[in-house]
A = this chain, B = another copy of it.
Amino acid sequence: MKKQLQPIDAESLLHEHEFKKTPLRIMLLEVLSLSPTPLPVAKLIRKTKKLAADPATIYRALNAFVEAGMVHALTVDKTKVLYELVQEKIHNHHIVCDTCSAVESIPFCIKTIDQQAIKVSRQFNKVHSHQLAFVGTCRKCIRALR
């Protein structure tokens, strides 16, 4: 039930999507693939600081990845954008802590809800995907509140 955290073959993935292979892009994809949670840009900058890449370059890489469908940009609250590698066969939903904003990925999916959505909507007759996020309080915060 736990998400497998195998580092992906970043170079192949880049090649597959016709991206040039650069140290930053490789490291970004590897960091994303090894993270059990979606990551904000700030954390990606920290995790790639070895390369001292310009933030602009990191933003450009991430936007390109999202555009290519390799990475999913997820917004759990107003401001924070989180990035996560798109892994086929793992359709993630998320659970967000309402106290510390921690995000955890949940590798489970209710297949039938897409169909239900179609039934209740008049304006849409085709549903491609859905995003489901749960809001709760994580154990750490519950403990801290005691």
- How many A residues have CB within 8 A of the partner chain? 43
Question: Does A68 interact with chain B (Cβ within 8 Å)?
Answer: no
Q: CB-defined interface of A102-146 with B at 8 Å, one 1/0 digit per residue?
A: 101011101001101110110111111111111111111010000
A78 with B75: CB separation less than 8 A? yes
Residue of B nearest to A127 (CB): B136
A97: Cβ under 8 A from any B Cβ: yes
Checking B77, B95, B113, B118 against A117 with a beta-carbon cut-off of 8 angstroms, the contacting residue is: B95
A135 — which chain B residues lie within 8 A by C-beta?
A: 127-131
- Least CB distance from A74 to B in Å reads 9
A residues sitting closer than 8 Å to B (CB atoms) are 1, 73, 75-78, 81, 93, 95, 97-98, 102, 104, 106-108, 110, 113-114, 116-118, 120-121, 123-140, 142
The 8 closest A-B pairs by CB, nearest first: A75-B75, A127-B136, A124-B136, A117-B134, A130-B134, A131-B133, A129-B135, A132-B132
